[in-house]
Amino acid sequence: MVEELKIDNDQATKEMLEKNDYKYGFVTDIEQEIIPKGISEDVVRFISNKKNEPEWLLDFRLKAYRKWLTMEEPSWAKLNIEPIDYNGISYFAAPKEMPKSLDEIDPEIIDTYNKLGIPLEEQKQLEGIAIDVVFDSVSLVTTFKDKLAEVGIIFCSFSEAVIEHEELVKKYLGRVIPSGDNYFAALNAAAFTDGSFVYIPKGVKCPMELSTYFRINAEDTGQFERTLIIAEEGSSVSYLEGCTAPKRATSQLHAACVELIAFDDATIKYSTIQNWYPGDKDGKGGIYNFVTKRGNCVGKNSRISWTQVETGSAITWKYPSCILTGDNSVGEFYSVALTNNRQQADTGTKMIHLGKNTRSTIVSKGISAGFGQNIYRGLVEISKNAQNARNYTVCDSILIGENCGAHTFPYIEVKNSSAQLEHEATTSKIGEDQIFYCQQRGMSEEDALSLIVNGFCKEVFKELPFEFAVEAERLLSVSLEGSVG
Amino acid sequence: MIEIVNLHAEVQGQKILNGLNLKINKGEVHSIMGPNGSGKSTLAAILAGKEDYDITDGDIIYKGESILDLAPDERAQQGIFLAFQYPIEIPGVSNAYFLREALNSINKARGNPVLKPVEFGKLAKQKIKMLKMDETLLKRSLNEGFSGGEKKRNEILQMAILEPLLSILDETDSGLDIDALQIVANGVNSLRNEETAFLVITHYQRLLDYIVPDFVHVLVKGKIVKSGDKSLALELESKGYSWLED
């Protein structure tokens, strides 16, 4: 059922590239293996077979697929979405030549990642950051793998983990996000093709940043990756993900699942810079980003911290959450979401307090410009046994121009009277006075805007590793271009 | 340096300036006084290029050319500085970062090299010392949580760092105690030289004890009705404005 095709930069795409300023919008011209469009049990079996997966994993996928067939696309989000044709997508695309080592990677791909600022060549690799490189449906390479293995850390592609560390994957896959959790998580569980796997053994502090870089390249494909991070007792890890995609006139679906598990005294810090292609000015094309991210603070004194900077995608639907099971565990969510032109984001978090003395912090900064719509949706739930739980939520929105919108939907469920919750929310328009003040000091209107917006996001950016914070600031400025004047 | 010629301006159909004429040469300090609502702050905002006003007649000639078509940042890059009556707060942006961005925007526009953070830090510290201000001012979020006096002093610090040619002070003295007033005056005087000029808008004569003006003008109903030297300010202090209002 495999057909080969070569992807061409057609004229329309080329023109779009020249006109628009999304600098990651280029297409890599390589020989690809793409399966025909559509989803079925056969496709699920094909993917599983392609990956030489054990029987139990195929069963996991099929169970999810059958569940998915019975489910309906959620409609509660405040999003205007063109109907998604799930059979108009190809569920598997991979470079035809799969590399066995760095030297075997197609130079076109090496070049692609150079353009994205991620050198793969050994001698140029970024110091202090190990990267798993996911290109369409497959992981191509993971850097610094051996060095990490010396301290017992497993960092590899999900497919490799299934083969090499089957017991770990079997033990934890779907533990935090069950295969039929929600519509998109079920589709992911059925059709995921790759992703990253991280295992930090007891007492180990990961000596470098771990990172996955997701790139969608092929047309009319979806990307369905799955990430699983396990931090054993007393360990800690900081993980980053970045995402880009070429500009295409048609929308593409990205439905990922990320599961985090933190045992006693373990810390997982998960940072995302999401810069998928947002579509053009009129809302044509762009990635539909439907992501389920959830962490379970299983152990006492454990901590899971989500930081996200969401500037891309036509549609963002994502609620990185923490289940605070262990006593004294801590959940954090720091978010910047920017919507410009016709972008829509419905994003937020869930903090589920189960253990005693659990604490959570939510800092959400929404920026709307153009015709962008930005929705914060969050749930803080304090269960009956969560004695002395604390939550602090700040939810700020900023509006640029007359046609955009910001909406806040905070849900609170408290079943224990010892809980203390604080919620602060503000919405403000970028003041003409602020812009004028900056201009009077010599800055252009656009520089003024990005200075003000970056100041607004400061609380979130300071949670990012330094290099990412710099990148996030730059990205924000680029994403806001053309939103004033 | 700057010549305001027959300037008429209105906001939402309401006339505010009615044929204002004023010429300021290099090296001069001019003070504008006048009753509330006479158009003093409007004049300051118009000179800086704020867009809320319609210029219905007249011109503003700066360094030999009309600046009516220049955006506020272009005017700033050419050396026009406005110390705001109500300085604006920008949360999350440190004073030092803001000032470095501002200075480097101006440097870039003039084709001068931009300052690295370390170089800027040295410059800022030197200026802050000169003005006898507190170094912590630089690290704080721009004007956020500043007292009224701190905000005004911060305007003077910005002025000292950006080294403008024409500085317009819009009631910088209001709400200041004597110590703060001296710091502000000290800042102005240290920048005062043959190449710079100042337009000091104030309600009170006492500022002019510290910043001694070459000329004092009285603005009434959008027009300069009387000009003189420092003694005019003293006269206004004792007689008020009513004798000049028709």
For residue A451, list chain B residues with Cβ-Cβ distance below 8 A.
90, 93, 98, 101
Q: Please report the pLDDT score of residue A35 as a whole number.
A: 84
Predicted confidence band of residue A19 (pLDDT cuts 50, 70, 90): very low
* A387 within 8 A of A419, measured Cβ to Cβ: no
Tell me the pLDDT tens digit for each residue of A40-98: 999 999 999 988 999 999 999 999 999 999 999 998 889 888 888 999 888 888 777 66
For the cut 80, the answer to whether the pLDDT of residue A297 exceeds it is: yes
pLDDT tens sequence across A308-358: 999 888 999 999 999 999 999 999 999 999 999 999 999 999 999 999 999
The residue-averaged pLDDT of A443-452 equals: 92
Both tokens of A333, joined, read: 């969510």
Tokens standing for residue A384: 């009956």
The percent helix, strand, coil of chain B (3-state, each to 5) is 40, 30, 35
The pLDDT of residue A1 is: 39
Nearest CA to CA, how far is B236 from chain A (Å)? 32
**What pLDDT does A344 receive?**
93
Measured between beta carbons, the chain B residues lying within 8 angstroms of A458 are: 91-93
* CA distance, residue A85 to nearest chain B CA (Å): 43
Residue A18 — pLDDT band, cuts 50, 70, 90? Answer: very low
* pLDDT confidence of residue A9: 36
Decide: helix, strand or coil at residue A111.
helix
Of A434, A440, A457, the CB nearest to B48: A440
User: Does the structure show a pLDDT above 50 at A14?
Assistant: no
Give residue A484's pLDDT band: very low, low, confident or very high (50, 70, 90).
low
What average pLDDT does range A7-22 have in this prediction? 45
**Residue among B84, B91, B101 whose CB faces A437 most closely:** B84
- pLDDT category at A108 given cuts 50, 70, 90 is confident
- Domain assignment present for B111: no
Average pLDDT over every residue of A397-403: 89
Q: Is residue B234 part of a domain?
A: yes
In this structure, is residue B14 part of a structural domain?
yes
Query: Which among B88, B92, B105 has the least Cβ separation from residue A447?
Result: B105
- Mean pLDDT for A173-191 is 95
Which one-letter amino acid corresponds to residue A415?
K
What average pLDDT does the segment B25-30 reach?
96
Residue A7 has pLDDT above 70, yes or no: no
Query: Residue A74 and residue A154: Cα distance in Å, rounded?
Result: 35
Residue burial A308-323, b: 16+ Cβ < 10 Å; e: rest? bbbbbbbbbbbbbbbb
Range of the domain at B19: 2-83+148-244
- Per-residue confidence (pLDDT) for residue A124, from 0 to 100: 62
Q: What is the pLDDT of residues B190-227, one digit of tens each?
A: 999 999 999 999 988 888 999 999 999 999 999 999 99
Give the whole-number percent of chain B exceeding pLDDT 70: 100
Domain count, chain B: 1
pLDDT of residue A245: 66
- Cα A409 to Cα A104, A347, A394, A426: the distances in Å are 49, 10, 12, 13
Choose among A440, A451, A455: nearest Cβ to B72.
A440
Structural domain includes residue B130: no
The most distant pair of C-alpha atoms in chain B lies apart, rounded to whole Å, by: 57
Per-residue pLDDT, A121: 67
Query: Which structure tokens are listed for A6?
Result: 């070569």
d(CA B176, CA B205): 13
Asked if residue A198 lies in contact with residue A315, where contact means CB atoms within 8 angstroms, the answer is no
The predicted-structure confidence for A112-121, as pLDDT tens digits, reads as follows 777 766 666 6
Cβ–Cβ below 8 Å for A437 and B87: yes
The answer to whether position B41 is within a domain reads yes
Residue A20 has pLDDT above 80, yes or no: no
CA distances from A29 to A57, A108, A212, A245, A345 (A): 33, 7, 22, 14, 31
Q: Which residues of chain A are at the B interface, by a Cβ-Cβ cutoff of 8 Å?
A: 431, 433-434, 436-445, 447, 451-452, 454-459
Q: Is the ipTM of this complex over 0.90?
A: yes
- Candidates A305, A406, A420; CA nearest to A363 is A305
- pLDDT band at residue A394, thresholds of 50, 70 and 90? very high
What's the mean pLDDT in A199-211? Answer: 93
Higher pLDDT, A238 or A250: A238
Average pLDDT over residues A203-228: 84
- Cβ count near A379 (within 10 Å): 16
CB–CB contact B76 A440 (8 Å) = yes
The residue-averaged pLDDT of A389-393 equals 97
Asked if pLDDT for residue A464 goes beyond 80, the answer is: yes
Q: How many CB pairs under 8 A join A and B?
A: 77
How distant is the alpha carbon of residue A29 from its chain centre? 25
B147-184 residue pLDDT tens: 888 899 999 999 999 999 999 999 988 888 888 888 88
Q: What is the pLDDT of residue A6?
A: 34
Question: What CATH number corresponds to the domain at position B207?
Answer: 3.40.50.300
Share of chain A above pLDDT 70, in %: 87
Residues A35 and A176: their CA atoms lie apart, in Å, by 30
Q: Taking an 8 Å Cβ-Cβ cutoff, which residues of chain B contact chain A?
A: 48-51, 71-73, 75-77, 81-82, 84, 87-88, 90-93, 98-99, 101-103, 105-106, 109, 141-142, 158, 162
Nearest to B76 among A433, A442, A451 (CB): A442
Contact A451 B84 (CB under 8 A): no
| CB-based contact A330:A293 (threshold 8 Å) | no
| Three-state DSSP state, A57 | helix
- Containing A315, the helix (H) or strand (E) segment is strand A315-318
Residue A472 pLDDT: 84
Is the pLDDT reported for residue A104 higher than 80?
no
3-class SS letters over A413-445:
EECCCCCEEEEEEEEEECCHHHHHHHHHCCCCH
pLDDT at residue B8 tops 70: yes
**Can you give the pLDDT at residue A44?**
94
For residue A10, pLDDT over 50 is answered with no
Digit-coded pLDDT (tens) for A138-169: 666 677 888 899 999 999 989 999 999 999 99
What is the pLDDT of chain A when averaged over all its residues? 86
Contact check, Cβ <8 Å, B158/A441 = yes
Percent of chain A with pLDDT over 90: 54
The answer to whether residue A246 scores a pLDDT higher than 50 is: yes
| Winning range, highest mean pLDDT, from A23-32, A48-57, A215-224 | A48-57
| pTM, entire model | 0.84
pLDDT (0 to 100) of residue A8: 38
Instruction: Return d(Cα A125, Cα A141) in angstroms, integer.
Output: 12
pLDDT value for B246: 66
Specify the higher pLDDT residue, A10 or B14. B14
* Residue A30, φ and ψ in degrees, nearest 5: -140, 165
Whether B71 maps to a domain, the answer reads yes
- Kindly state whether residue B125 falls inside one of the protein's structural domains: no
- The per-residue pLDDT for range B103-113, each reduced to its tens digit, is 999 999 999 99
pLDDT (mean) for A180-197: 93
Q: Are B105 and A442 inside 8 Å of each other by CB?
A: yes
Of A433, A439, A458, the CB nearest to B76: A439
Residue A393 predicted with pLDDT over 50: yes
Does residue B88 lie within any of the structural domains? no
Give the tens place of pLDDT for each residue, B85-128.
999 999 999 999 999 999 999 999 999 999 998 999 999 999 99
Determine whether the interchain pair B90/A454 forms a contact, defined as Cβ–Cβ distance below 8 Å.
no
**Higher pLDDT, residue B101 or A25:** B101
Answer with the residue of higher pLDDT: A431 or A307: A307
Residue-level pLDDT at B48: 96
Chain A residues with CB-CB distance to B90 below 8 A: 434, 437-438, 451-452, 455
